[in-house]
Structure 1
Amino acid sequence: MEKRLKIALFLAIAINFFFTLHLTPLFNLDEGAFSEATREMLKNHDFITTYLNGALRFDKPILIYWFQALSVTIFGLNEFALRLPSALAATFWAFGIYWFAKKIFDEKIGVLSAFFMVTALQIGLIAKAAIADALLNMFIAFSMFSLYLYIQNQNKKYLYFTFAFIGFGFLTKGPVAVLIPLATFFIYSLIKKDFKFFLKTTFDLKGIVLFLIIALPWYIAEYTAQGDKFIKGFFLKHNIDRFETSLEKHKGSLFYYIPVILIGMLPWTSLLLKYLTKLKNYLKEQNDFFLFGSIWFFFVFIFFSLSGTKLPHYVIYGYTPVFIFMGVAFKELKSEFLYSLPLILFVLALLILPSFALNLTKNKEAVIAIKTIMPLFNIWYYISLGAVLILSLLKLGKENKTIILGFSMVFILNYVGWIYAHARAIPVKQAAIFAKKHNIKNVYLETNLPSFSVYFDKITPRKKAKKGEVALIKSKNTKGYKVLFKKGLVALGVKE
Structure 2
Amino acid sequence: MSESVSQVPGPSSGHSSPVSHHIAVLLILCGILFFWNLGALGLTDRDEGRNAEAGREMLETGDWMSPTFNYEPRYAKPVLVYWLMSASYKMFGVSEFAARFPSALFGLGLVLMLYLFLTRLRDANTGLLGSLMLALNLQMIGLNRMALTDSVLIFFTTLSLFAFWLGFQTTRERRPWMWVYYAAMGIATLAKGPVGFLVPLIVVALYLSLTKQWRSFWQEGRPLAGTALTILIALPWYAGMWWLHGSEYTAAAQANTVGRFLKPMEGHSFGFLFYIPVLLLGFFPWSGWLLFAWPQTYKSWRAARKTDVTRDTSHVTAEGTANRAGFPVESPNLSPATRHASQSDSLDWFAAAWIFATFVFFTLSSTRLPHYIGPLFPAAAILTASYWSRCVRDPSTRGANASVHLVMWLGFVLAGAMACLPWIYDTMLASKLTKEYPLATQLSLGSGPYVAATVLLVGMGLVGLFGLSETRRGAAFWAASGSLFGVVLVLMVFVLPAANRYFVAPQQELAYAAGLNLAPGEQLIAYGATRPSTAFYARRKVLFVGSGEEEKLRTALSQPGRTMILLPESFVDKLPGDLKNYQPILKRYGYLLLAREPMVKIPEGILPPPPALEPKIFGH
Same fold (TM over 0.5): yes
> For the Cα contact (< 8 Å) 2:203–2:358, is it kept in 1?
no
Q: Which residue of the other structure, out of 368, 379, 383, is the alignment partner of 1:310?
A: 368
| SS of aligned partner of 1:207 | helix
- Which aligned pairs between 1:454-473 and structure 2 lie closer than 5 A? 454-463=536-545, 464=549, 466-467=553-554, 468=557, 470-473=564-567
Q: For residues 400 and 205 of structure 1, do their structure 2 counterparts lie closer, same or farther at Cα, with a shift above 3 Å needed?
A: closer
2:186 paired residue number: 167
Q: For residues 489 and 173 of structure 1, do their structure 2 counterparts lie closer, same or farther at Cα, with a shift above 3 Å needed?
A: farther
Q: Which residue of the other structure, out of 14, 29, 40, is the alignment partner of 1:12?
A: 29
Q: Is it true that 1:78 corresponds to 2:172 in the alignment? A: no
Q: For residues 147 and 413 of structure 1, do their structure 2 counterparts lie closer, same or farther at Cα, with a shift above 3 Å needed?
A: farther
> For the Cα contact (< 8 Å) 1:251–1:310, is it kept in 2?
yes
* Number of residue pairs aligned between Structure 1 and Structure 2: 495
> For the Cα contact (< 8 Å) 1:358–1:367, is it kept in 2?
no
Q: CA RMSD in A?
A: 2.9
Q: For residues 351 and 63 of structure 1, do their structure 2 counterparts lie closer, same or farther at Cα, with a shift above 3 Å needed?
A: same
Choose 408-417 or 32-41, whichever is displaced more: 408-417
1:435 paired residue number: 514
1:343 paired residue number: 411
Choose 102-111 or 274-283, whichever is displaced more: 274-283
Shift of 1:476: 4.6
| SS of aligned partner of 1:455 | helix
Q: Is it true that 1:64 corresponds to 2:132 in the alignment? A: no
Q: Is it true that 1:192 corresponds to 2:211 in the alignment? A: yes
Q: Is it true that 1:401 corresponds to 2:479 in the alignment? A: yes
Deviations 1:287-338 (A, max 9, x none): 2122222121111111111111111111112121111111112232448665
Shift of 1:489: 7.1
How far apart in 2 are the matches of 1:383 and 1:138? 33
Q: Which residue of the other structure, out of 212, 236, 239, is the alignment partner of 1:217?
A: 236
Q: Which residue of the other structure, out of 446, 451, 467, is the alignment partner of 1:378?
A: 446
Q: Which residue of the other structure, out of 271, 274, 287, is the alignment partner of 2:292?
A: 274
Shift of 1:131: 1.3
| SS of aligned partner of 2:366 | coil
After TM superposition, the score normalised by the length of structure 2 is: 0.73
> For the Cα contact (< 8 Å) 1:5–1:403, is it kept in 2?
no
Please identify which structure carries the higher helix content: 1
Q: For residues 228 and 380 of structure 1, do their structure 2 counterparts lie closer, same or farther at Cα, with a shift above 3 Å needed?
A: closer
Q: Is it true that 1:53 corresponds to 2:121 in the alignment? A: no
| SS of aligned partner of 1:422 | helix
How far apart in 1 are the matches of 2:240 and 2:439? 49
- Which aligned pairs between 1:198-347 and structure 2 lie closer than 5 A? 198-200=217-219, 204-234=223-253, 236-283=254-301, 284=303, 286=342, 287-331=345-389, 332=391, 333-334=400-401, 338-347=406-415
Structure 2's unaligned 5+ residue stretches are 1-16, 305-341, 392-399, 467-474, 558-562, 576-582, 597-617
Larger RCO (alpha carbons 8 Å, 6+ apart): 1
How far apart in 1 are the matches of 2:243 and 2:215? 38
Q: Which residue of the other structure, out of 390, 397, 400, is the alignment partner of 2:458?
A: 390
Q: Which residue of the other structure, out of 108, 115, 127, is the alignment partner of 1:98?
A: 115
2:422 paired residue number: 354
Structure 1's unaligned 5+ residue stretches are none
Shift of 1:378: 2.4
| SS of aligned partner of 1:423 | helix
Q: What amino acid does structure 2 have at the position aligned with 1:449?
A: R
How far apart in 2 are the matches of 1:309 and 1:474? 31
How far apart in 1 are the matches of 2:170 and 2:517? 65
> For the Cα contact (< 8 Å) 2:443–2:502, is it kept in 1?
no
| SS of aligned partner of 2:544 | coil
Shift of 1:211: 2.2
Shift of 1:112: 0.9
Choose 341-350 or 381-390, whichever is displaced more: 381-390
After TM superposition, the score normalised by the length of structure 1 is: 0.90
How far apart in 2 are the matches of 1:307 and 1:50? 26
| SS of aligned partner of 2:266 | helix
Shift of 1:365: 2.1
Q: For residues 198 and 444 of structure 1, do their structure 2 counterparts lie closer, same or farther at Cα, with a shift above 3 Å needed?
A: farther
